[in-house]
A and B are shown apart, each in its own frame.
Chain A
Amino acid sequence: MNVLEVKNIEKAYKKNFPVLKDLNISIEGGKIVGLLGPNGCGKSTLIKLISGILQADKGEILVCGEKVGEKTAAMISYLPERPYFNPHQKVSELLKFFAEFYADFRTDVAEKLLCDLGISVNSKISSLSKGNKEKVQLILVMARNAKLYLLDEPIAGVDPAARDYILSTIVGNYNPEASIIITTHLISDVEQVLDDFMFITYGGKIVLSSNAEEVRNERGKSLDAIFREEFKC
């Protein structure tokens, strides 16, 4: 069974201006998939639809065979673009919160990753730097034993060293049977970790979808170079 099935999805924020139109995607387990496209092409909208934050106007989304809802929320680990913390909370309170709501949350893994970064669980979120807030959020997301990880622009706005840390945390901590969807326009940074990729363009159309290694060998170019060709202005 595929981890994710997106069938004929349509979503418009304004009437007659669809962000996504008749979109179909299937993702099997154990894959890291890059959802790559320019800004405003509907990547985040798709992620929000899969996570259940938004509702599609048409079509159906299934996660491990279940329609998006309470059950799929328990299987999906979602990293939004911006930190969603209450700044007055302590890191330890967040760990407790995640452990309470998500049965698959591994507190020991989260504590180890925080310790590696030198972030104390007694730190208040408001006392952390922007970079560390993002790292704490990533740790909380990756410490779950989820079936599907949705990472929306995980490396946008962070320095190259932090990007390496983020990517290594993603690769080193996800459930091997699960799938990861990473949305980004910073392709050169993520392509090394991708199994498959999809180029998505305005209106939510998939212009190219394949195995990353195969396409690189076939065309003799990096995904970044192919992306630049495909989306040339």
Chain B
Amino acid sequence: MLKKLLKYDFKALFKYWWIVAVATVGLSALSGKCITIISSERELPAVLGVSATIILTLTYIGLVVFAVFSTVMIFIRYYKNLFTDEGYLTFTLPVKRSDILNSKLISAVAFEFATLLVTGFDILLMLVIAFYKDIFTKDFFANLKEGIADIWNALGGYILVYLLEAVLIVVVASALAILLLYICITIGSIIAKKAKVIASIGIYYGVSWLVSFVTMLLFIFGTVTLEAKFNALAEGDIKLIVSLIALCILLFMLLVGGILYIINYYLIDRKLNLT
């Protein structure tokens, strides 16, 4: 049943997301051309210069809106599906409550990750179009190969470990941010009789502050207690220490995420109160 829920969640989120994604790609391509025009040494007509500046500004705004839009879509989908009248359908489907939560979480993480990838692609596209003459010189591939070889010589096999850890941290951090958002919506929807969205936003600030405070305390505590242990374990190997720190961050985020997930599941399973 999780697959079926995922299908509907992906479909609902993709419905408008792709339009905004395509729009940002188009704007980025246009902006790349605008940068070329602005940075050219030729004398430009004023209209062209102003238009290029407007397009560049619009692209910047577009990229910010794209990121906000994805998060807002995820927020709306979760809230409407679970805590408005639609909840009467969602919670009477022959599926486990955990499947409902998992579907919402997986689809949200996938869309946040996709948004990040598209935004990265947008920026890359803009730069490539703007500076392709400087980037794609006849030595481009030789320089690229040399650069990769330098990194490999400096880090060795750690480069793969770092890459894996970086991807995992991005995914888990994204899941953690979404779980934080979800739990605030859940609490806001359960305790507030009216203005549930406003209550959820208020709770979000409170819970975010609490999580940040606890994280900072644990970070200080971890730095003090683990520094000597890491040094002894890694015997001064800085590459290993970096990897261990990343691993600790990952484990910490998984722990916090796990706690948020369990609390959210408990609230949805035991304290749900659809009006």
What is A's interface to B at a CB cutoff of 8 Å? 13, 48, 51-55, 70-71, 73-74, 76, 78, 80, 82-86, 97, 100-102
Contact = CB atoms under 8 A, between A and B. Distances in A.
Contacts of B272: 53-55
Nearest to A78: B92
Given A13-B273, A78-B88, A84-B88, 5 more contacts: A51-B92, A82-B88, A100-B4, A101-B4, A101-B95
A71 B94 CA distance: 6
Contacts of A100: 4
Interface residues of B, number: 20
A85 B95 CA distance: 18
A233 B269 CA distance: 38
B94 A74 contact: yes
B93 interface: yes
A84 B131 CA distance: 53
Which 10 residue pairs across A and B have the least CB separation, nearest first?
A74-B94, A73-B94, A84-B88, A80-B88, A84-B89, A84-B85, A78-B92, A53-B91, A82-B85, A51-B92
Contacts of A71: 94
A52 B91 contact: yes
11 contacts: A52-B92, A53-B87, A53-B92, A53-B274, A55-B269, A74-B94, A76-B92, A78-B92, A82-B88, A83-B85, A101-B93
B86 A84 contact: yes
Contact of A70 (B4, B87, B95, B273): B95
B96 interface: yes
Contacts of B133: none
Contacts of B89: 84-85
Contacts of A53: 87-88, 91-92, 272, 274
Contacts of B42: none
B209 interface: no
Given A54-B273, A101-B4, A73 B86 contact: no
B94 to A, nearest CB: 4
Contacts of B92: 51-53, 73, 76, 78
> In this complex, which of A51, A53, A76, A85 has the most chain B Cβ atoms within 10 angstroms of its Cβ?
A53
A102 B94 contact: yes
Contacts of A83: 85
A42 B218 CA distance: 47
B88 A73 contact: no
Contacts of A85: 86, 89
B270 interface: yes
Nearest to B96: A70
Contacts of B4: 100-101
Contacts of B141: none
A53 B273 CA distance: 8
B8 interface: yes
A71 B96 CA distance: 9
B94 A101 contact: yes
Contacts of A74: 94
Contacts of A70: 94-96
A54 to B, nearest CB: 7
Interface string B88-120: 110111111000000000000000000000000
A86 B94 contact: no
B96 A55 contact: no
Contacts of A55: 269-270, 272
A84 B269 CA distance: 20
A100 B6 CA distance: 13
> In this complex, which of B4, B270, B274 has the most chain A Cβ atoms within 10 angstroms of its Cβ?
B274
Contacts of B80: 86
A76 B92 CA distance: 8
Given A54-B273, A101-B4, A73 B93 contact: yes
A85 B87 CA distance: 10
A227 B151 CA distance: 84
B93 to A, nearest CB: 5
Contacts of B93: 73, 101
Contacts of A73: 92-95
> In this complex, which of A55, A84, A86, A97 has the most chain B Cβ atoms within 10 angstroms of its Cβ?
A84
A71 B272 CA distance: 19
